[in-house]
């Protein structure tokens, strides 16, 4: 990899990927002049119930979502690893791939980061990369120093110049990200309601084609649908 590259890492269950995820990636890339953003669908999320859609479908939807987006890619780094997808272990795999900790910018929503003290290997995980915290509906990134006073000294506004920090830093990016949730998208999909504006059109077509979040899929047809991704259908 290029030594001077700044790589954004946007992890998540992506069940399904949606406009809020993508806008958070755009916000981090613009604020910190990131070379590219990698979407990493998790295999088994540590703080959520197991995903509804299979790893194959979640990877496919993430790939569809970034198609044509400059500077965005999707990676199977976490899907290819066994067990729970812990951020610290993912960051260490990236170190093993040749990335220095100051080249990695781990992107998270302010709502998720507010619970950082419950993350696996906290606080050591914060020394493995820069963290880029983007506002989510109801939680401004700039409000985190007051909420997490023990970490306030490590926080600073995210700017291209600040991104050159020589040690891992927590960058705060206030951005008007859309109030979208995967839970609501799954509910709408089950009810047959429109998903326009919530997910890319290609992702909505994939959800409809494979009935990913329908009651039939929950009853056991999701596995068969996943097989079609590598078959003739």
pLDDT at position 1, please? 39
Beta carbons of 117 and 16 less than 8 angstroms apart? no
Other C-beta atoms closer than 10 Å to the C-beta of 8 total 24
Quote the CA–CA distance of 141 and 134 in Å, as a whole number.
6
User: How many helices and strands, by DSSP H and E, does the chain display?
Assistant: 9, 7
pLDDT of residue 62: 98
Q: Which of 150, 173, 196 is the last residue before a domain boundary?
A: 173
Q: Do 125 and 30 fall within a single domain? A: yes
**Structure-block tokens of residue 149:** 């006073």
Report the pLDDT value the prediction gives residue 201, as an integer from 0 to 100: 97
Based on the domain organization, do 26 and 135 belong to the same domain? yes
- What CATH number did the domain enclosing 146 receive? 3.40.50.620
Strand order in the sheet with 36-41: 72-74, 36-41, 7-12, 104-109, 130-134, 170-173, 155-157
Rounded to whole angstroms, the Cα distance separating 210 from 101 reads 39
Give 75-119 as a 3 state SS string.
CCCCCCCCCCCCHHHHHHHHHHCCCCCCCEEEEEEHHHHCCHHHC
Same domain for 196 and 169: no
Structural domain including 122 reads 7-173
In a domain, 232, yes or no: no
* 200 in the same domain as 131: no
Structural tokens at position 65? 């979502």
Task: Give φ, ψ of 210 to 5 degrees.
Answer: -100, 5
pLDDT recorded at residue 88 = 97
pLDDT tens, position by position, for the chain (233 residues)? 344 699 999 999 999 999 999 999 999 999 999 999 999 999 998 877 789 999 999 999 999 999 999 999 999 999 999 889 999 999 999 999 999 999 999 999 999 999 999 999 999 999 999 999 999 988 999 999 999 999 999 999 999 999 899 999 999 999 999 999 999 999 999 999 999 999 999 999 999 999 999 865 544 433 333 333 332 22
Number of domains the chain is built from? 2
Cβ–Cβ under 8 Å, residues 218 and 52: yes
Q: What pLDDT is recorded for position 137?
A: 80
């Amino acid at each position: 990899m290029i030594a001077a590259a700044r790589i954004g890492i946007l992890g998540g269950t992506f069940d399904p990927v949606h406009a809020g995820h993508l806008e958070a990636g755009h916000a981090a890339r613009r604020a910190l002049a990131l070379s590219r953003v990698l979407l990493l669908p998790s295999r088994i999320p540590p703080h959520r119930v197991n995903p509804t859609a299979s790893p194959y479908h979640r990877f496919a939807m993430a790939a569809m979502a970034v198609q044509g987006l400059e500077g965005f890619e999707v990676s199977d780094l976490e899907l290819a690893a066994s067990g729970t997808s812990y951020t610290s272990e993912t960051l260490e795999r990236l170190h093993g791939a040749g990335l220095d900790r100051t080249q990695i910018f781990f992107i998270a929503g302010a709502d998720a980061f507010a619970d950082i003290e419950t993350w696996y290997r906290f606080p050591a995980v914060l020394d493995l990369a820069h963290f880029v915290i983007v506002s989510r509906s109801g939680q401004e990134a700039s409000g985190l120093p007051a909420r997490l006073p023990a970490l306030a000294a490590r926080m600073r506004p995210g700017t291209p110049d600040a991104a050159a920090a020589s040690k891992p830093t927590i960058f705060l990016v206030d951005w008007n990200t859309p109030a979208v949730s995967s839970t609501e998208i799954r509910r709408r999909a089950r009810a047959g309601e429109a998903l326009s504006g919530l997910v890319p059109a290609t992702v909505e077509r994939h959800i409809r084609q494979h009935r990913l979040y329908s009651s039939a899929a929950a009853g056991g047809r999701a596995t068969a649908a996943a097989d079609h991704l590598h078959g003739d259908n």
